[in-house]
Amino acid sequence: MATLLVRRAEPADFDAIARLTVAAYRADGQLAGESGYERTLLDVSSRSDAGELLVAVDEATGEVLGSVLFVVPGTPYAQLAGAGEAEFRMLAVDPAAQGRGAGESLVRACLDRATALGCHGVVICTRSFSAPAHRLYARLGFVRTPERDWSPDPGVDLHALRIDLAGVPSPVAAEASRG
């Protein structure tokens, strides 16, 4: 299996990010009946300006396999994050690359970034029917917070999930303990 590298996205990655994000959302049924969200997904430049846009790439080929937007409260794409929390949005893995660990690597990178910033939690929202996403997040320790569920448009039901970072090992602390 190829080694994955998670890094900040560069403008040269934007076309691949747009393509794979729309493909992933379509494959998961998240764009069915949507009005306008595909345009938001395709606007990678605005997304990049609003937070930290990360990509998972195959180190051997340089191919972009997935992406995610990491944000903090008060930024344009933050929907749920409150004081002391971070959030990630638009996690997507190219359907042809799913099952290779890109999604999990991107989530872990977001958790590491939130820990480095001193956040005590990370929140996300996901479509109510997105079973693969729910399995990934549950495996990583996210817990459903139904009091934060919401609906941006009729028929679009978003489930809120949160992880308490007190129970997540810090990459900085892990490195220090090795040293």
Where do the H-state alpha helices sit in the chain?
Answer: 14-27, 37-42, 44-50, 102-116, 131-140, 171-178
Range of the domain at 155: 4-178
Q: How confident is the model at residue 32 (pLDDT cuts 50, 70, 90)?
A: confident
Which CATH number is 41's domain given?
3.40.630.30
The confidence score (pLDDT) of residue 174 equals 44
Q: What are 97's two structure tokens?
A: 């690359």
Confidence of residue 173 (pLDDT cuts 50, 70, 90): very low
- Pair type for strands 85-93 and 121-127: parallel
pLDDT tens track for 101-144: 999 999 999 999 999 999 999 999 988 777 788 889 999 999 99
Tokens 């080694």 sit at which residue? 3
Per-residue pLDDT band at 170 (split at 50, 70, 90): low
Which tens digits make up the pLDDT trace of 137-167? 999 999 999 999 888 777 778 899 999 998 6
Closest CA to 89 of 119, 51, 142, 58: 51
The pLDDT value recorded for residue 131 is 78
Question: Closest Cα to residue 51, out of 114, 119, 139?
Answer: 114
| pTM for the whole structure | 0.89
Kindly tell me if the per-residue pLDDT of 169 is higher than 90. Answer: no
**pLDDT above 70 coverage of the chain, percent:** 90
* Tens-place pLDDT, residues 47-60: 999 999 999 999 99
Structure tokens at 147: 């009091």
Q: How many domains does the chain have?
A: 1
